Amino acid sequence: MRLIFIMIAGLFISNAALAVEIEYWQYSYKTRLDAMDKLIEQFEAENPEIKVIHTNFPYAQYRTKVAASVGAGVGPDVVQLYYGWLHDYLKAGILQPLSMGEFPHNKIESEFFPMVGNMKVGGEYYALPTAVRSLALFWNKKLFRDARLDPEKPPKTLDELVMMAKKLTKRDRAGNIIQVGITMGPINQDHNWWREVLVRQFGGVPYDEGNEKVLYDDAAGLAAFKYYAELVTKHDVSVVDFMDKGEIAFKAGRAAIHIDGSFVLSTFGRARKLEYGITELPEHNGIKANFSSYWVNGITSKASGEKRIAAEKFLKFITSANAMQLWLDQVGELPARISVAKRADNQIHPECGPFIKGLDYAFTTNFYSESAQRKTVVDMLDRILLLGMSVEESLKIAASEDQKIIDEAHIQ
- pLDDT tens-digit series, residues 147-167: 999 999 999 999 999 999 999
Quote the percentage of the chain above a pLDDT of 70. Answer: 96
Candidate from 64-78, 90-104, 272-286 with smallest mean pLDDT: 64-78
| pTM of the model as a whole | 0.84
Question: Does residue 308 carry a pLDDT above 90?
Answer: yes
Average pLDDT over every residue of 286-299: 96
Q: Please write the tens of the pLDDT for every residue from 322-339.
A: 999 999 998 889 999 999
CA 229/CA 380 separation, integer angstroms: 10
Same fold, 20-133+293-363 and 134-292: yes
> What is the pLDDT, as a whole number, of residue 256?
98
Question: Which of these, 84, 293, 290, lies nearest to 198 by C-alpha position?
Answer: 290
Question: Does residue 8 carry a pLDDT above 60?
Answer: no
> What is the pLDDT, as a whole number, of residue 14?
46
Helices (H), 30-188: 30-46, 59-71, 86-91, 105-111, 141-146, 158-168
Amino acid at 51: K
Beta strands in 224-339 (DSSP E): 255-261, 276-279, 290-299, 334-335
> What is the pLDDT, as a whole number, of residue 412?
61
Count of Cβ atoms closer than 10 Å to residue 407 Cβ: 14
Is residue 336 within 8 Å of 112, Cβ to Cβ?
A: yes
Question: Does residue 117 carry a pLDDT above 50?
Answer: yes
CA 351/CA 338 separation, integer angstroms: 18
Q: DSSP class of residue 218?
A: S
Average pLDDT over every residue of 309-315: 98
Candidate from 101-110, 214-223, 251-260, 363-372 with smallest mean pLDDT: 363-372
Largest separation between any pair of C-alpha atoms in the chain:
87
Question: Does residue 96 carry a pLDDT above 90?
Answer: yes
Question: Does residue 138 carry a pLDDT above 50?
Answer: yes
> What is the pLDDT, as a whole number, of residue 190?
97
CA 386/CA 376 separation, integer angstroms: 15
> What is the pLDDT, as a whole number, of residue 331?
87
Query: For 154-192, b where at least 16 C-beta lie within 10 A, e where not — what string?
Result: bbeebeebbbbbebbbbeeeeeebebbbbbbbbebbbbb
Q: Please write the tens of the pLDDT for every residue from 19-69.
A: 899 999 999 988 899 999 999 999 999 999 999 999 999 998 998 999 899
Say whether 4 sits in a helix, a strand or coil.
helix
Average pLDDT over every residue of 96-104: 96
> What is the pLDDT, as a whole number, of residue 1?
54
CATH architecture of 134-292: 3-Layer(aba) Sandwich (3.40)
Amino acid at 333: E
Residue 282 phi, psi dihedral angles, 5° rounding: -60, 145
CA 234/CA 297 separation, integer angstroms: 43
Question: Does residue 11 carry a pLDDT above 80?
Answer: no
20-133+293-363 is classed CATH 3.40.190.290: no
The band of 17, judged by pLDDT with boundaries at 50, 70 and 90, is low
CA 232/CA 242 separation, integer angstroms: 12
Q: DSSP class of residue 361?
A: G
- Greater confidence (176 vs 271) lies with 176
> What is the pLDDT, as a whole number, of residue 272?
78
Average pLDDT over every residue of 207-220: 94
> What is the pLDDT, as a whole number, of residue 324?
97
CA 371/CA 81 separation, integer angstroms: 13
Quote the percentage of the chain above a pLDDT of 90. Answer: 81
Q: Which residues pair with 54 in a beta bridge?
A: 24
> What is the pLDDT, as a whole number, of residue 12?
46
> What is the pLDDT, as a whole number, of residue 268?
86
> What is the pLDDT, as a whole number, of residue 13?
46
The radius of gyration of the chain from alpha carbons, rounded to an integer in Å, stands at: 23
- Residue-range domain boundaries for the chain: 20-133+293-363, 134-292
CA 88/CA 1 separation, integer angstroms: 59
Question: Does residue 209 carry a pLDDT above 90?
Answer: no
